[in-house]
């Protein structure tokens, strides 16, 4: 694999992991704009656990401990944050991310504003399997009864309560597990590029990740994968095509076109590219065809 393709694949993998971290709470209707905060926590925690100036632990243990550390913080802050709803939750999670960045920038042991070098290196052979694992885990998670409860909470919180769903617990679990996935993504980022600084994990990153999820669709576990893939591949692909065809206007204006495309997507697919109905239509279509073939063979025999 060429270096360029490999670097693009890493970006796609990290974006996918981040997106699933935001998707789990989003599936129950919670909008989390604090992705950068959890990614920062994961990246810095695992860098510190692993560093020769820190705890000097093996890299795999550092990544796991970082997830537990981020998970604990997410669990604690989820109680006040989950009292807020809608746009107020967006603001609360955004504020959390800003606080994390503010703290990291002022701690000398973490390199402050100059950033922090990371010791152990993880390459594509670790990151790709981890990404696949995250995707499989998310599909499993959403297929459980807990996942069903989360989707019910998204539709009607009060009715879910009356059928015995502990809404608070379900939301806390989704928020915390999502934060742990983002922590994993942050750790992988740090150990791949071997250098982290708080400014990389800014609000723009949080916005992009939330967009991946909302554009991809929050109703099925396919959404974040489609959203992340679309947002990372299409701008690059447009650039490749434009450059090879010598279209400078396309190469320079591709983000404008991309922006216009997002607006159109929001108009025509307000619930995201992959909705439950679309999934049924795709899956059902295959099933029907198969059944038809079976029926025909039965009729012929």
d(CA 35, CA 175): 11
The distance of closest approach from Cβ of residue 74 to other proteins in the complex, given in angstroms and rounded to an integer, is 19
User: In the complex with other proteins, which residue's Cβ is closer, 71 or 190?
Assistant: 71
DSSP string, 44-91: HHHHHHHSTTTT---HHHHHHHHHHHHHHHHHHHHHHHTTS-HHHHHH
Nearer residue to other proteins within complex by CB, 40 or 219: 219
Q: How far apart are CA 212 and CA 257, in angstroms?
A: 17
The structure tokens listed for 110 are 């973490």
Residue of 139, 146, 141 whose CA lies nearest to 160:
146
**Shortest Cβ 57–other proteins spacing (Å):** 29
Least Å from the CB of residue 155 to other proteins: 4
Q: Which is nearer to other proteins, 86 or 284 (CB)?
A: 284
Q: How far is CA 271 from CA 34, 100, 223, 274, 287, in A?
A: 21, 31, 10, 8, 25
The least CB distance from residue 259 to other proteins, in Å, is: 28
Nearer to other proteins, 134 or 142 (CB): 142
At 185, which helix (H) or strand (E)? helix 167-193
Q: Site residues (CB under 8 A) for other proteins? A: 139-140, 142-149, 151-152, 154-156, 158-167, 219, 276-277, 280, 284
Instruction: Output 137 or 193, the one with its CB closest to other proteins.
Output: 137
Nearer to other proteins, 167 or 233 (CB): 167
Task: State the nearest-atom distance from the C-beta of 283 to other proteins, in Å.
Answer: 9
Complex with other proteins: residue 277 or 292, whichever CB lies closer: 277
For residues 18 and 222, the answer to whether their CB atoms sit within 8 Å is: no
In the bound state with other proteins, the residue whose beta carbon lies nearer, of 46 and 219, is: 219
Let me know how long the chain is.
301
Q: Whole-angstrom Cα distance, residue 69 to residue 182? A: 12
32 backbone φψ class: left, alpha, beta (φ>0; ψ -120 to 50): beta
Q: What are the distances in angstroms from CA 184 to CA 124, 171, 178, 179, 238?
A: 15, 20, 10, 9, 30
Provide the minimum distance between the beta carbon of 143 and other proteins in the complex, in angstroms, as a whole number. Answer: 3
State the nearest-atom distance from the C-beta of 82 to other proteins, in Å.
15
CB 66, min distance to other proteins, A: 24
End-to-end alpha-carbon separation of the chain, Å?
50
Phi, psi of 195 (to 5 degrees): -160, 130
């Amino acid at each position: 694999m060429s270096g360029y393709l490999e670097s693009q694949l890493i970006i796609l993998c990290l974006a996918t992991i981040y997106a699933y971290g935001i998707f789990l709470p989003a599936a129950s209707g919670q909008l989390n704009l604090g992705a950068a905060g959890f990614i920062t926590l994961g990246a810095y925690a695992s860098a510190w656990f692993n560093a020769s100036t820190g705890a000097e632990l093996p890299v795999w243990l550092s990544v796991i401990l970082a997830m537990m550390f981020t998970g604990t913080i997410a669990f604690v802050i989820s109680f006040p944050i989950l009292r807020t709803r809608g746009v107020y939750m967006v603001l609360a999670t955004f504020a959390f991310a800003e606080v994390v960045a503010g703290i990291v920038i002022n701690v000398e042991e973490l390199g402050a504003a100059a950033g922090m070098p990371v010791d152990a290196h993880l390459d594509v052979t670790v990151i790709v399997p981890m990404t696949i694992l995250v995707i499989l885990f998310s599909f499993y998670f959403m297929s459980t009864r807990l996942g069903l409860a989360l989707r019910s909470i998204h539709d009607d919180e009060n009715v879910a309560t009356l059928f015995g769903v502990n809404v608070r617990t379900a939301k806390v679990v989704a928020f915390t597990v999502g934060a742990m996935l983002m922590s994993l993504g942050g750790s992988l980022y740090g150990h791949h590029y071997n250098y982290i600084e708080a400014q990389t994990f800014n609000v723009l990153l949080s916005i992009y990740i939330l967009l991946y999820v909302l554009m991809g669709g929050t109703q099925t576990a396919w959404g974040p994968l489609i959203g992340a893939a679309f947002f990372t591949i299409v701008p690059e692909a447009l650039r490749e095509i434009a450059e090879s065809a010598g279209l400078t206007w396309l190469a320079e204006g591709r983000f404008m076109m991309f922006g216009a495309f997002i607006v159109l997507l929001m108009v025509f697919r307000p619930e995201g590219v992959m909705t439950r109905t679309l999934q049924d239509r795709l899956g059902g279509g295959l099933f029907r065809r198969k059944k038809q073939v079976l029926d025909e063979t039965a009729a012929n025999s």
